[in-house]
Amino acid sequence: MTTTVADLYPTRGSSETVTPRVDPVVWSEPGAPGPMRPSELSDFDRDGFLAIEELITPDEVAVYRAELDRLISDPGVRADERSIIEPKSQDVRSVFEVHRISEVFANLVRDPRVVGRARQILGSDVYVHQSRINVKPGFGASGFYWHSDFETWHAEDGLPNMRTVSVSIALTENYDTNGGLMIMPGSHRTFLGCAGATPKDNYKKSLQMQDAGTPSDEALTKLADAHGIKLFTGKAGSATWFDCNCMHGSGDNITPYPRSNVFIVFNSVENTAVEPFAAPVRRPEFIGARDFTPVR
């Protein structure tokens, strides 16, 4: 693989490696205008995440929920390559690029409460690297094993620096039982390079179950011992902002209650994707965008 951009975060080699983060977490100057207070930005910097109790109102939640239901019951959407199906139940697990499939979700991305926070954290204009709904229906939806998103986005999509942030917005209540997001606070400061080369069609399998890019039990134990594990709960309309290098995951949902969250990944326009750092081919654009048009 030839790339002119330095690889600051080696991964997918013969052994697991630990590299300290060299990038800032909050990229804007102190006092930069936006919806986040200075104390919220410093909490985000320290923990790697920030929970918002009510990012969108109950009335707005109803609109997004209805749109989610419309999407997952539309046979065309279900058959689209951007929909990922649960292997066991054959339910829709994820729908990618929802901001392109749906005008309703496109509006959510443009909402100043959403994109404004992303700009403030990343200190620049931003574009959407990825968007997805993780439906997590009740009665057996499978979880997402521990991972750092940046590890994948660096290895497989070619994002050079840690200048990317995600927001997970709850469209159903996230209880402590229905497969909510878990993050190890402070883990965003350490980059865990994973062992093992990336297979050519890795993304197809990894969207159903993660394999390459998976940390070892030993590394996860060390990180959890050092940082602890925080579970995010909240009403529909609540949100969690989290840094691209947080160690995070979620368990299965065996309750009757769906845990359906929309995830939007914003990347800085100053950190656009190059060639993958540790994969033979780029992933499809519905998973890792190559259109770097800023959100307006």
Ligand X SMILES: O=C(O)CCC(=O)C(=O)O
Sites of contact with Fe ion (CB under 5 A): 149
Residue nearest Fe ion, Cβ-based: 149
CB atoms within 10 A of CB 114: 22
- Of the candidates 254, 250, 262, the one whose C-alpha atom is nearest the C-alpha of residue 68 is 262
**C-alpha 160: how far from chain center:** 16
Please check whether residue 121 is in contact with residue 36, taking contact to mean a CB–CB distance below 8 angstroms.
Answer: yes
Q: Give whichever of 241 and 263 is closer to ligand X, judged by the CB atom.
A: 263
Site string for ligand X, 157-196 (x = CB under 6 A): ------------------------x---------------
Which of ligand X, Fe ion, none does residue 23 bind (CB under 5 to 8 Å by kind)?
Answer: none
Binding ligand X (rule: CB under 6 A), the pick from 12, 117, 248, 283 is 248
Beta strand 239-243 pairing with 17-20: unpaired
Is residue 262 classed as helix, strand or coil in its secondary structure? Answer: strand
Contacted by 99, from Fe ion, ligand X, none: CB < 5 to 8 Å by type:
none
Q: Which residue is nearest to ligand X (CB)?
A: 250
DSSP 34: S
- Structure-block tokens of residue 71: 């999407």
CB of 2 to Fe ion, least distance (A): 29
Which residue in 27, 105, 127, 144 binds ligand X (CB under 6 A)?
A: 144
Helix (H, G, I), strand (E, B) or coil at 132: strand
Q: Determine the angle formed by the axes of helices 112-122 and 38-47, rounding to 10 degrees.
A: 60
Which option in Fe ion, ligand X, none does residue 181 bind, with CB closer than 5 to 8 A by kind?
Answer: ligand X
We find the least distance from the C-beta atom of residue 207 to ligand X, in angstroms, to be 9
Q: Which residues contact 73 (CB under 8 A, 6 or more apart)?
A: none
Give the β-pairing of 83-85 and 92-96. Answer: antiparallel
> For residue 96, what are the CA distances in angstroms to 9, 32, 129?
26, 32, 11
- Picked from ligand X, Fe ion, none, the partner binding residue 190 (CB below 5 to 8 A depending on kind) is none
Q: Is 134 in the site for ligand X (CB under 6 A)?
A: yes
Q: Which is nearer to Fe ion, 104 or 207 (CB)?
A: 207
Of 121 and 169, the one with the shorter C-beta distance to ligand X is: 169
The yes or no reply on residue 146 touching ligand X (CB under 6 A) is no
Does residue 149 bind ligand X (CB under 6 A)?
yes
Q: Which residues bind ligand X (CB under 6 A)?
A: 134, 144, 149, 181, 248, 250, 261, 263
